[in-house]
Structure 1
């Protein structure tokens, strides 16, 4: 499953479902899909996500084993790199006072 994050002021961001749910939980949400953040809630969610990333930036955040091809699983991608596009989207939405939604 893929999850896409959308806001009117940024290009859509699509992530593997399990990776996206982990990032959503780091923002302080349940990980439910679909979901949304109101513009006024984005700064706090962004801060929680940044704090989680800064606490352990090199931790691997990879798709669940067995869900994707062998080559993808052989390479680990850090939490810092996985979160970067979503952080950029949230920063842009916060700056422009726009809501963010996510769905499959």
Structure 2
């Protein structure tokens, strides 16, 4: 399943459903599809997302340290995953554009 975020102020952002639903929860909304954030609430949604991404980034750092130690122990090379903070960049840009334009954000 794919979820597309849209706003009048930015191009659409499409993500895989599980990642998008995680971001929706981080913003403080239910994962009902379709959904929306009013123009007045986009700023607080962005703040919630950034706060929760910081927590996730700290957990990622701990996991990276453990994975490096495991790789040294196993002498195997593992392909690294794309961090959730990197995956969030397009959505963050959309939210910032919506704030600047005083526009809503929708997902479907």
TM norm structure 2: 0.78
Gapped regions of structure 1 (runs ≥ 5): 60-73
Q: Deviations over 1:31-89 (max 9, x none)?
A: 11110000000000100000011123263xxxxxxxxxxxxxx6511111011110110
SS in 2 for 1:20: helix
Among 80, 85, 88, which residue is 2:93 paired with? 88
Match of 2:29 in 1: 29
Match of 1:97 in 2: 102
SS in 2 for 1:57: helix
- 1:1-104 equivalences under 5 Å are 1-57=1-57, 59=60, 75-103=80-108
RMSD: 1.6
Match of 1:63 in 2: none
Determine which structure has more spread, i.e. the larger CA radius of gyration: 2
> How many residues in Structure 1 have an aligned counterpart in Structure 2?
90
TM norm structure 1: 0.80
